[in-house]
Amino acid sequence: MTAYKGAEFWMRVTLAVLAGALFLTVHAVYWPVVISLILTFILMPIRDGVIKGLRRLTGRQVPIDIAILISFVILIVIVTVITNSIVKPLVVQVNLLAANFNDLVSQTAALVTQLENEQTQFYIPDQVKKIINDAFVKVGNYGIDGITNLIQSVFAIAGTVVEFFVVPIITFYFMKDGGHMVRIFVDIFPESYRSHLAGLFQEIQHVLSRYIRGQILMSCIIATLTFLGMWAMGVPYPMVIGLLAAITEWIPIVGPIVGAVPAILLSATVSLSLPIKVIIFYIVIQQIDSHLIMPQVMGAVISLHPVVIVIALLIGGTLFGVAGMILTVPVTAVLQILCKHLWFYNTYKEKAMKHNGNNENRNQ
């Protein structure tokens, strides 16, 4: 009997692993589910707020379906306001940047020559000059296409008609039956494992929800500060730079550095002293982000060593490009939780057994 139960358990584990592998392999399923999970974590606080608000107003429990639909309407209104107030001016600046891109590249390349010619102490080795010139050629060849396709790339994930309809449906049922889905999966396993698995999923849900909501808030704050700083210093295309800062904020460690490079180059086309101010500005913003904004917004929800993050960035970037780098931290954090629970399984099992025993004693 014991052997039968052991075989049954490992068969269920094998089926769960195969289902996970299939999910990761089929990209047509992978991205809609990932986007739906992100939307779920964003909409859950709105849904809970709607339920509490309507309960106070009406004195009755609001059906969860109605609360979810109202939260969708609120999100649509917010997106519409953002589109009218931010996206339209942003598109204008992107088009202007695309139209003037070759001129900006030529001006920046000329600055390098000017620096070497006017300041004898500023010597640039021939090898470095060759690398810089090759970089400018490549940027000039591919820059216009990259800029004109920037906004298309942002919305490319939801570009197909199927995903457009599937994502809201999956999000709706995640918000309505997410807890029930987890319980169904947990009930596949023997009773002695269920409390441990339920705690595992609860911890993953807490980490992902805190991370996604915190990262969105941080991106908005950094984008706003960057836009205001670039606008105040007279750097061209401040909205484009602010959008780039918001996107690169999702890439840990190297993201802010990558986001600062275009701002520095664009400021160099205005004056030779302005890049120094921009560099100082980004250093200050990075310090504010690391020591003030992040601790308040994120707290200690994710504790990963910088070396682990860098290695994960390299792996994610190699396998999935920019999207892999953006998803590096949450995926690594989930893997850390899984490894922790597997490595210290007996400890968690003992805690669960004690917790269940205490509950039984209380019931008696």
Cβ-contact 354, 347 below 8 angstroms:
no
- How confident is the model over 204-217, as a mean pLDDT? 85
Tell me whether residue 266 is in a domain: no
Q: Which of 124-133, 240-249, 284-293, 331-340 has the lowest mean pLDDT?
A: 124-133
Q: How far apart are CA 240 and CA 244, in angstroms?
A: 6
How many other C-beta atoms lie within 10 A of the C-beta of residue 43? 21
HSE-CB at 126 with a 13 A cutoff on CA atoms is 0
Q: How far apart are CA 154 and CA 249, in angstroms?
A: 15
Cβ-contact 29, 199 below 8 angstroms:
no
Measured in degrees and rounded to the nearest 5, phi and psi for residue 130 equal -65, -40
Q: How far apart are CA 341 and CA 199, in angstroms?
A: 10
- The three-class DSSP label of residue 55 is helix
Q: Indicate the angle between helix axes 191-233 and 274-288, nearest 10 degrees.
A: 150
Tell me whether residue 59 is in a domain: yes
Buried/exposed 65-104: b ≥16 CB within 10 Å, e otherwise: eebbebbbeeeeeeeeeeeeeebeebeebbeebbeebeeb
Tell me whether residue 46 is in a domain: yes
Cβ-contact 244, 91 below 8 angstroms:
no
- The three-class DSSP label of residue 149 is coil
What pLDDT score does 68 carry? 92
Under the banding of pLDDT at 50, 70 and 90, the label for residue 250 is confident
Q: Indicate the angle between helix axes 328-343 and 191-233, nearest 10 degrees.
A: 150
Q: Largest alpha-carbon pair distance within the chain?
A: 89
Tell me whether residue 119 is in a domain: yes
- The three-class DSSP label of residue 16 is helix
Domain that holds residue 41: 30-187
Cβ-contact 112, 126 below 8 angstroms:
no
- The three-class DSSP label of residue 301 is coil
How many domains would you assign to the chain?
1
Q: How far apart are CA 320 and CA 96, in angstroms?
A: 30
pLDDT greater than 50 at residue 270:
yes
Tell me whether residue 79 is in a domain: yes
Tell me whether residue 359 is in a domain: no
pLDDT greater than 60 at residue 360:
no
Cβ-contact 281, 300 below 8 angstroms:
no
Under the banding of pLDDT at 50, 70 and 90, the label for residue 158 is very low
- How confident is the model over 138-157, as a mean pLDDT? 50
Tell me whether residue 44 is in a domain: yes
Under the banding of pLDDT at 50, 70 and 90, the label for residue 118 is low
Tell me whether residue 10 is in a domain: no
The residue ranking higher by pLDDT, 350 or 231, is 231
